[in-house]
Amino acid sequence: MQSVFRAALDAGASGVAISGAGPSLVALTWEHFEAVASAMKTAWSAFGVNAESFILDPCLNGSTVETSLE
């Protein structure tokens, strides 16, 4: 997994982390989104893993709590 982290960082990610309990990884980047995603997928393929990537927009509202009085 370290090679996947390194690939993301080398492609321009600011940081990489395991998301939750896994098996997801998240790369944080301000630019080079496609390059980072592609580098991570290529690194996974060296282990025979057919990875998927998703480029998502951040939530700018922060966390919220919703309650119902019904």
Give 10-45 pLDDT, tens digit per residue.
Answer: 999 999 999 887 779 999 999 999 999 999 999 999
Whether 65 maps to a domain, the answer reads no
pTM of the model: 0.80
Query: Residue type for 57, please?
Result: D
Residue 13: the pLDDT is 97
Q: Rounded to an integer, what distance in angstroms lies between the CA atom of residue 13 and that of residue 11?
A: 6
Whether 15 maps to a domain, the answer reads yes
Whether 22 maps to a domain, the answer reads yes
Whether 59 maps to a domain, the answer reads no
Going by C-alpha positions, the residue among 5, 48, 1, 59 that lies closest to residue 27 is: 5
Whether 66 maps to a domain, the answer reads no
